[in-house]
Amino acid sequence: MNGQKFKLLTVILLFFIVCPIFAQGKITIRLASLVPENTAWGAGINRIAAEWSRITNGEVEVIVFHNGTAGGEGEVLRKLKINQIQAAVFTSAGVSAIMPEVMAISYPFLIRNDEELNAVMLKIKPQLDTKIQQNGYVTLAWACAGWIKIFSKMPVFTPDELKKARLSSPPDDQQMIQAFRLMGYQIVPVSLPDTLVAFRSGMIDATYISPIYAAGNQLFGVAGNMVNVNVAPFMGGVFMNNTAWRRIPDKYKPQLLEVCKKLEREIESSISGFETEAVSTMVKYGLKVNNPSSQQVQIWYDDTAKYENNLVGGVTPVFNREYYLQIKDILTQYRKGR
């Protein structure tokens, strides 16, 4: 081999040896979110991306895929497992694929307001985070994105009235589908993007959904009634797989987590206002808010209580019995202390 060829080969070998070293200098985190970018969650995720880059001097780059462009929650979880996506925003239904026990928070009509949710999360959040990490993921943030309400074509004030309607539920939300069916509701699985079409075609008469989502997708145009009772908190969270988290230098992690905790606080302080504004806007354009009497509200709670053994009993309960009983005990103590 002549000298010139030897030098060329040496340069090529050095290129392939050194390049991976430089490639490892920047850690790219692809973060998937179903949430629209023009929401409090979307803006918060963008701030996380910017802050993580600043704190790490560009060593960590977060690329955000908003608006479900990376796929639905099931598809995103699959990508997360094989590290095509390193982090994601999930609803409680999405998190349940990682940790089914988390759906106990969404047990219908169990947790009834922000104060009760805060009391519950204060006690059980460390357990949830530990279990999620054992299953291969790191919790970056939890937050309530509002409350699930029932929207319907006709006025609804009691469970019996709703049980006469065809109630839609996302197909991936299997625990809620099973729960509502056990309680006597006529469930029709419909994906969220298809809900508006399902109303217009007459396939469904009602759905349970976040008012913010209902306003953003103009569902109130075909489902012009909302029952003013909280069905369950609409929980969301940001999660990263352990593979990606381990690649981030430990010296940065406390600051990065603090940025995410700040997002939690911002969402919690602003979401109530966003939800109120969404309902007010929908009312302005024709939504009717049906306010059950205190006796009728109690009927919702009592009706659900009748099915407790079906929902958390037996060999394969719909909701994790241990977490349900723990949440129920926290709520009992909290309500006594008010």
pLDDT(34) > 70: yes
What's 69's domain CATH number? 3.40.190.170
Q: Are 153 and 225 in contact (CB under 8 A)?
A: yes
Q: With pLDDT > 90 as the criterion, what percentage of the chain qualifies?
A: 71
In this predicted model, what pLDDT tens digit does every residue of 304-324 receive, in sequence order? 999 999 999 988 899 999 999
In this predicted model, what pLDDT tens digit does every residue of 106-154 receive, in sequence order? 999 999 999 999 999 999 999 999 999 999 999 999 988 889 999 999 9
- Give the residue carrying structure tokens 């929902």: 311
Q: Please give the angle made by the CA atoms of 279, 31 and 207, to the nearest 5 degrees.
A: 30
Q: Are 225 and 151 in contact (CB under 8 A)?
A: yes
Task: Name the nearest CA neighbour of 263 among 14, 17, 31, 19.
Answer: 31
Q: With pLDDT > 70 as the criterion, what percentage of the chain qualifies?
A: 93
Q: Name the residue range of residue 36's domain.
A: 3-337
Q: Are 158 and 109 in contact (CB under 8 A)?
A: no
Q: Are 9 and 39 in contact (CB under 8 A)?
A: no
**What is the average per-residue pLDDT within 279-301?**
97
pLDDT score at 3? 56
3-state secondary structure of 173: coil
Number of domains in the chain: 1
How far is it, in rounded angstroms, from Cα 54 to Cα 128? 29
How far is it, in rounded angstroms, from Cα 283 to Cα 214? 12
**Side-chain half-sphere of 199: how many Cα atoms within 13 Å?**
22
Model-level pTM?
Answer: 0.84
In this predicted model, what pLDDT tens digit does every residue of 154-173 receive, in sequence order? 999 999 999 999 999 988 78
pLDDT score at 277? 92
pLDDT-based confidence at residue 77 (cuts at 50, 70, 90): very high
Phi, psi of 65 (to 5 degrees): -110, 95
